[in-house]
Structures are given as structure tokens and as C-alpha cells.
Amino acid sequence: MRPLPADAVVAVIGAGAMGAGIAQVAAQSGHPVRLFDSRIGAAETARRKIVATLESLAAKGKMSIDAARSAGERIAVVDVLADCVSAKLVIEAIVEELEAKCALLRELEAIVAFDAILATNTSSLSITALAAGLKHPSRVVGMHFFNPAPILPLVEVVSGLETDSTIADAIYATAAAWGKFPVHAASTPGFIVNRCARPFYGEALRLLSERATDPATLDAVMRDAGGFRMGPFELMDLIGHDVNFAVTRSVWDAYFHDPRYTPSVLQHELVAAGFLGRKTGRGFFNYANQAAKPDIIALPAQSRPAAVRACGELRAAGTLLSRLASANVIVERGPPNPAFPSGAIAVGGGWLALTDGRTATTRGAAVGVRDLVLFDLALDYATCTRLAVSRADTCSESVWRAAAGALQAAGIAVSPLDDVAGLAVMGTVAMLANEAADAVTQKIATAHDVDIAMQKGVNYPLGPLAWADRIGIAQVRDVLVHLGAQYGGDRYRVSPLIARRCATGQPLADPS
């Protein structure tokens, strides 16, 4: 399918931050743009800001002066919707309310030509519901940009039950021509990103509710071990708790209170108090000018062990042994230990092992090991600078110190967590992969598009399905099973796709 011709008129309805960003993208791609807002003067104010942004880009050498001037001149403010009559594509970006959007689409349908495409930038509303009252619902499609639209590369192209596939394909091709990474999605609550990202926030809030550690330390673990650009608490503060909580609540309500999406009482309290994050000066963190930056909890330096013994395969965590050897710690090789089928490190008379989703206390008791320390998942054990660790209630202080000393000898900061199931990165990544697998199972999107969406839409270091393949699908399944056993209920139920791929050995990220 070919994109819209470059000379096709694009109308953008709504001149807020998102609408203005979309107008800029379309204009920079060569389209004449009609910008409308029902608020008097809002569209003209937005146009001036766009022109100033384009001039700034030219001054920084990111585009030519002529290109910036031409793009600015292509944006025309219109005072009435009827002036959008020549538009071949209309993108609405008004308030996120179903009735308001439906009323606008009905009005637009009576104005534009029969072959014009009506697109909505909704982030959560049903495309099917938005199109339901129209004479030609087949031409309504979701074109969900991410804020700021000129910078973030993802566009979710969302099809309702009656969306014509050729319309969706045309919008996909158009978004690609505009320099974006488009993905196809079916119209379901949250589409791809807002659904599949819920565990990133939900698991962090669970850990905080259990007082595993403080928000700053959990953020540091997710950044320094998990490779995420931002930790969940600083990201929620940036988004705004009113917005983030509302999205979670919306997805939870839309899925008839599925426990996977249950909102957090802690976040609800922040919203009730008006502590919405950066925009109000306080959320999980204090953003006042003189506020002290929160400390990140890490264990003080411990004595390094002279030697450790690796028993069995450590899989991805095996690079820890190389780091220890490079630090002049003797790494001995021992036979596999039946208590640790995925391998473990013997140190200080106890054991250091990768979490499998159980608490250290539960896992140690199950295999008859008292002195057990667990460490968290890392995106890359060869380069990570921090790991979360926990210890069984029965673990001696000497083993705890020896295990910490071994990780510190490898150049890794050790952030202690209370003995919680799944720790931080492992539990979160397993749940992200599980949610992504369910999206594929339910044909909301392909495996390829899910992984691309999570990388391009929310800057994850890996797509969650590819990440699960790297960890090992069976290991992800086991983590989910153990989390389910710890907490009960249906929150951690294993996706049918993960169960099937464990049986067949196929990767989750396989586009087939």
C-alpha cells in the first residue's frame, strides 16, 4: 500500500501539545496542514510555537533554513471545521472523552470527501466505539502517536472491527513515510504499549507496597541492572500520577477487573493528595529547588573472597564468573548441584544463585539450604553496574557478607532488597513478557510488532519477547509459576503462548 501523496492536505483537530506535534510532523513531511482548535487563539499560538521550534532546529543544524521555513509555511490555521473540507486525512487529537470524539467524527464525516480518512490519536478509547455512529465506519482508524510526536518514533495503527484493511495499510505506509516506526494493532484496551507496559509500573508498586526497599533504589536497580532508561517511579512522576493511574484504571475496568491490571493503593493515595509528580513538585520524589536527591541504598564494601566455586551452568549469568576471574578471584569449577539446576556459586560456606521467582527463604527451605543469597536478573551481566540481592531468613551474616563481597569484587554495587518473590528486574521482565505473549495470543499484534512497539514507544532495551528468549522461556514460565504460588490468584497466570513455546522449543519472538 502506498502512503498519502505528499501534496495531500492533512487536517489536525486539536492544537494542544499532541496535536501541534502531529501537525509539525506532517508539515515537515511535505503536507499542507490545516490546524483547528475550538479554543479561540489556541491554533495560532500552536502554529507560532511550531514555527519557533522549526527555526530552533535549523539554528542547531538539524534541518536546513529553507526546509524549516517551508514546513512552517505549510501550516495554516483554520477557524471553522468546514475549512478542512479538502483534507485527505483528518487526525483528531482532542480531549480523551468518548462522547466528544464521537461528536467530532460525526461532524467531520459530513464535511470531508467520502474517500478522506478519519484518524484518531486516542491512546485508550475503542476505535470500534468511536466509529460506531458513523455512516462509513470503515474509514476510521487509530493513529496513535506518542508524546512528543516529533521525537518519539512509534505510531500504533489501530483497527476497529469495521476498519477497512486498506485504510489501515495506507496509514501504516504514511506513518513510515513520515519517518516513524508504525505497528499494526487491534482495537483492544490499551492497544499494545499501554497494555503491555502495565507490569513495569505494577510490579514496582507491588515491591514498594511490600517495603522491599525505597523508590530511588528500585529505580537504580531497574536502570543499572535492567538497562531501562528510567526507573518506574521516576517515570510515573514524569508522566503524572493522575495520567498513569487513570490509564491503569481504564485498562483494569475495560478488562473487567482482571487482577493483572489492578491499580495500586499507593498510587491512588498520591493522586488523592495531589502529589502528581514533576508537574506539582512532588510525587514519589520531591522536586522542590532545594530538595536533596534521595540516596540509593547499597551495601558497604565487604571483604572479597579469595575463591568461589561455580557449580553447574549459570547461563547468561556466567559472565559474572569472567568478571570475578578478571578481578583476581579464583574461580573453581564444581559438579552441578541438584538443588540448583540452573547453577549456583558456592561462596563463604553458602550459595549465591539467580532468582527463580521464589523468595530466598522459600527456595532454601525447599532444597534444604539455609545459607542462600539470591541475585536479580540483569540485561547484561558483563556490563551491569548494580544488582539487587536478597537473603533467606536463615542465612548467616557471614555468608551474606561473602556473597556481597563476591559481587562487589566483580565491580557491581549490591542493593539489598527484603526477601521478596521475583526480586525487581526478573519479576518485571517475566510479567512484561507474559503480557506481550498474551497480546500475540489474542492477535492484538504480531510478535514482531509487539517487540518493536515496546522498544520504540517506551524505550525498553529489548522487546519483552526477545528478552524472554534470551533468559529462556522455561525460566520465565517458572518465575511466573513461583510468583503465582507466592501470591495466589490469577495475576501471574502463564500465557498460553509461553506454555506452548516451552513445549515446542520455538522462540517467542519468532514472527511466525
CA distances (Å), origin 168, targets 23, 130, 320: 20, 15, 47
- 194 a catalytic residue: yes
Cell of 333: 569449577
In a 3-state reduction of DSSP, which class is residue 412?
coil
- Residue whose cell numbers read 498520591: 270
Q: How far is it, in rounded angstroms, from Cα 131 to Cα 346? A: 62
CA distances (Å), origin 475, targets 34, 118, 178: 52, 45, 40
The active-site residue out of 156, 203, 234, 435 is 156
- 123 a catalytic residue: yes
The active-site residue out of 29, 31, 144, 435 is 144
- 144 a catalytic residue: yes
The active-site residue out of 123, 126, 244, 415 is 123
- 156 a catalytic residue: yes
The active-site residue out of 126, 159, 187, 194 is 194
| Closest of 416, 425, 434 to residue 478, by C-alpha | 434
| Closest of 196, 300, 203, 311 to residue 255, by C-alpha | 196
Find the helix or strand (DSSP H, E) in which 33 lies: strand 33-36
DSSP codes joined into one string, 90-155: EEE---S-HHHHHHHHHHHHTTS-TT-EEEE--SSS-HHHHHTTSS-GGGEEEEEE-SSTTT--EE
In a 3-state reduction of DSSP, which class is residue 186?
strand
Q: How far is it, in rounded angstroms, from Cα 197 to Cα 199? A: 6
Write down the H helix ranges in 210-240.
215-224, 232-239
In a 3-state reduction of DSSP, which class is residue 189?
coil
Catalytic residues: 123, 144, 156, 194
